[in-house]
């Protein structure tokens, strides 16, 4: 299952990376940078608590996040809002707090919370610009982390919270993309009526 989750992770990464290079998708640098750090921490915590093959997808996702960070610099979202800075500072504060704990369980709880905060700039952007995100990547993330959960060798809060939360976050994100795309498509297709 860990191998299958990793395979799904690899397959899902290519369409997203291709869309970024072709300027169809504009990743938010703040989100992907924080995600890279967080998945790295979650990966180390999972390894420390013997998640086994269930941790592979987390490690692979960390690598993918930093590849996206590299691409986000020339190709990513340039419209950075004050709320994005607030989310970045909140994520940084959480990372500092994490640095003071040596408990892997607390680390995973903090990382999961920070991950949600880091998701907010991308969620905001997706609400206003849903066509600038690759929905299939986030849909496949539901499956890769779901399979990763099945592959966990020793189930505990430390080994399961982060991937389970990522599944929930991605379900919500994909639903937001689909609803917003339909709403905007309906609005643009609506006939313009004259006030006369």
Query: Residue 177 has what pLDDT?
Result: 93
Residue 99 has pLDDT above 80, yes or no: no
- Is residue 91 within 8 Å of 36, Cβ to Cβ? no
Contact between 142 and 171 (Cβ < 8 Å): yes
* Backbone φ/ψ region at 79: left (φ over 0), alpha (ψ -120 to 50), beta: beta
CA distance 47 to 94: 21
Mean pLDDT for 109-128 is: 83
Residue 58 contacts residue 163 (beta carbons within 8 Å): yes
Q: Which tops the pLDDT comparison, 196 or 153?
A: 153
Task: Specify the pLDDT at position 173.
Answer: 93
**Confidence check: pLDDT of 155 > 80:** yes
Residue 64 has pLDDT above 80, yes or no: yes
* % of the chain residues with pLDDT over 70: 91
Quote the tokens at residue 7.
């395979």
The DSSP secondary structure of 107-165, one letter per residue, reads: HHHHHHHHHHHHHHHHHHHHHH-GGGS-HHHHHHHHHHHHHHHHH-SS-SHHHHHHHHH
Which of the listed ranges 94-98, 103-107, 114-118 does the model predict with the highest average pLDDT?
114-118
Are the C-beta atoms of 51 and 154 separated by less than 8 Å?
Answer: yes
Structure tokens at 178: 């689909």
Q: Which residues contact 31 (CB under 8 A, 6 or more apart)?
A: 118, 119, 121, 122
Q: What burial class does residue 164 get, using C-beta atoms within 10 Å of its C-beta: 0-12 exposed, 13-18 middle, 19+ buried? A: middle
Q: What pLDDT is stored for residue 192 in this prediction? A: 57
Residue 196 has a pLDDT of 46
Overall average pLDDT of the 29-33 stretch: 83
> What's the confidence (pLDDT) of residue 11?
80
């Amino acid at each position: 299952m860990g191998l299958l989750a990793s395979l799904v992770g690899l397959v899902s990464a290519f369409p997203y990376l291709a869309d970024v290079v072709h300027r169809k998708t504009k990743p938010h640098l703040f989100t992907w940078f924080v995600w890279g750090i967080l998945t790295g921490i979650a990966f180390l915590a999972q390894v420390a608590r013997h998640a086994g093959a269930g941790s592979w997808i987390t490690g692979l996702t960390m690598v993918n996040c930093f590849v996206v960070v590299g691409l986000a610099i020339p190709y990513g979202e340039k419209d950075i809002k004050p709320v994005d800075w607030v989310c970045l500072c909140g994520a940084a504060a959480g990372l500092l707090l994490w640095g003071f704990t040596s408990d892997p369980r607390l680390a995973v709880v903090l990382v999961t919370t920070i991950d949600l905060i880091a998701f907010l700039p991308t969620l905001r952007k997706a609400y206003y610009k849903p066509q600038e995100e690759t929905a299939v990547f986030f849909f496949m993330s539901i499956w890769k982390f779901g399979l990763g959960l099945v592959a966990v060798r020793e189930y505990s809060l430390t080994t399961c919270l982060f991937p389970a939360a990522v599944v929930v976050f991605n379900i919500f994100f994909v639903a937001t993309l689909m609803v917003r795309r339909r709403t905007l498509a309906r609005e643009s297709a609506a006939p313009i009526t004259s006030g006369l």
